[in-house]
Amino acid sequence: MFTRSLRLGALLLLFPGLSLACACGCGIFDVGTSSMYANHAGGMVFAEFDYLDQSHNYSGTSSAPAADNEDKEIRSSFWTLGGQYQFNRSWGITVAVPYWHRSFLTTDEGSGDLVRSSHGSVGDIRIKASYTGFSADMSTGLTFGVKLANGDTSFAGFDADTQIGSGSTDALIGAYHLGRLTSDARWSYFVEGQWDQPVSHKSNYRPGAEGVAVFGAYYEGWSTHQVLKFVPIVQLRAVYRRADGGADGMPDETGYSRILVSPGIEVSKGPVQVYADVALPLYTNARGNQLFANEMWKLNASYHF
């Protein structure tokens, strides 16, 4: 089952949970990687690249004129390095360390001119534990952990919601399940949900809590004489983010709901897997005026040992 190492293409649950979040609509939990779940004791290391260009203004459920939003573009690249170790059939741990580079184009409040600022820094580190002892095949699991507040929140060119770090310490909790769609085991599915709840934050800015639910299906019948294995996968994601709070939070211009479809493919050979997908929006409902990306790209490579 995707070597059943649960490379589900859905759970960054165990993982970077890389919330590509800034309140102006950049993000959703990064739940699209594929090689994230262990079905036996052992480890995995991975590297991931994500990219999105938020240049489309939305208000409510439709596009809105760019003139209605002082922010014009948020272009972000995310590199993440991490590792996962499954101690036994029941318990595992995952650590993800991101590095973000962001370019922000906005309107200067004094002159009215467009000003672009760019900055790169280590982002908020995520540490998660997983419990998979509900069944012998480890097909059902719970995850819980913490997002640290180590990311940079002091860059002068960014607003509070576009800083690389959120400034908050968050509690992370999730659950998932995998199953078969057909008796020949070629078609399988997964479902998962995750919630990110800030529990400690700066007095002037509280990022909104964020949740995601995912349903995915994948096909395991393609291979080249057992040398390379190709697994197409499609995910449907529903995302909800509450409005930000605090003096710098702009609650009337933050918070949203989104539904996205994410087709992707994994190519594997032995312990090495490479996964890529693109997330495309089907529905957006934004409070106020917010910038969103119309595509979110992902490339992930992992090695199991």
> Class of the 2-304 domain?
mainly beta
Of the candidate ranges 13-22, 46-55, 140-149, the one whose mean pLDDT is the lowest: 13-22
Structure letter (DSSP) for residue 12: G
Read off the pLDDT band of 14 (50, 70, 90): very low
Average confidence (pLDDT) over 3-19: 40
Read off the pLDDT band of 10 (50, 70, 90): very low
Q: Convert the pLDDT of each residue in 218-270 to its tens digit.
A: 988 787 766 888 999 999 999 999 999 999 999 999 999 999 999 999 998 98
Where do the domains of the chain lie? Answer: 2-304
User: Which tokens is 300 given?
Assistant: 């992930």
User: Which tokens is 183 given?
Assistant: 């008796």
Look up the pTM and report it: 0.89
216 pLDDT exceeds 80?
A: yes
Query: Any idea which residue has 């529990």 for tokens?
Result: 199
